[in-house]
Structure formats: C-alpha cells, structure tokens
C-alpha cells in the first residue's frame, strides 16, 4: 500500500476550523486542537439555543399579554379562552405587538 500524504487536505480542514473559531479568545482561535474543541462546543450551543430562543420569545409574549390583561382586571387564561370562544384567531406574538404598540385595539379585545 502506498503512503498517503495529507498536506493539502489537512490544511483545508484546519483553515475551515480556524475560520469558524475567529473571535474566540487566546489560543482558542490560533491552535487547531483547542479551536476544534471551541468550534464543536459553539456549534452545539448554537443548535440548542435556536430552540431555546423560540421558547423564550413565547414566554416574553405571554408575560406582556398577561401584564396588560391584569391591568384591566382580568387573567391571562380567561382572556385567551374568551378569544378562542369568540373565534378570534390571533397568535401570542401578534397579541403582544398589539399590547405594546396599539393599546386601544388590545383593550377592545379585552372588553369583548
């Protein structure tokens, strides 16, 4: 079996990893082994936090809606139930936007 030299392949692989590790501090952006660990770590965290971001935004929207509904002597759960029973189909993001930017319309929804 002939000997395989990995010069160009290895360099390409190393350059790819080191370019992904740009912005990391110290040896994590310079040395391949530590940069590789850093890149694997950050890719894993990026993947999980994309899901967490959706969860956190939904939580924020619910908190905003709840705050404004409680100012008008109500509860979040009863408000959402009344919207469903009246076939008003607005998601939490849109309700939150209404609560923040157009309170008059949101208060009309609360009264119904």
Residue 3 lies in a domain: no
Residue 2 lies in a domain: no
Range of the domain at 81: 8-111
Residue 91 lies in a domain: yes
pLDDT, tens digit, for every residue of 90-109?
999 999 999 999 999 999 99
Residue 34 lies in a domain: yes
Residue 1 lies in a domain: no
Domain count along the chain: 1
Q: Residues 79-86: contacts with CB within 8 Å, 24+ apart?
A: 79/110, 82/112, 83/109, 86/112
Residue 21 lies in a domain: yes
The structure's pTM equals 0.76
DSSP 31: S
Q: What's 42's domain CATH number? A: 1.10.1900.20
pLDDT, tens digit, for every residue of 22-62?
999 999 999 999 999 999 999 999 999 999 999 999 999 99
Q: What is the dihedral of CA 23, 25, 26, 30, to 10 degrees?
A: -30
Q: Average pLDDT in the 13-30 region?
A: 95
- Measured over the CA atoms of residue 82, residue 84, residue 88 and residue 89, the dihedral's sign is positive
Identify the pLDDT of residue 37.
Answer: 96
């Amino acid at each position: 079996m002939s000997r395989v030299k990995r010069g160009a392949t290895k360099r390409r692989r190393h350059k790819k990893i080191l370019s992904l590790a740009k912005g990391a501090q110290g040896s994590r952006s310079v040395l391949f082994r530590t940069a590789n660990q850093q890149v694997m770590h950050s890719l894993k965290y990026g993947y999980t936090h994309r899901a967490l971001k959706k969860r956190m935004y939904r939580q924020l929207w619910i908190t905003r809606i709840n705050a404004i509904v409680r100012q008008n002597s109500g509860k979040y759960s009863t408000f959402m139930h009344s919207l469903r029973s009246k076939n008003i189909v607005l998601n939490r993001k849109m309700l939150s936007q209404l609560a923040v930017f157009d309170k008059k319309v949101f208060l009309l929804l609360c009264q119904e």
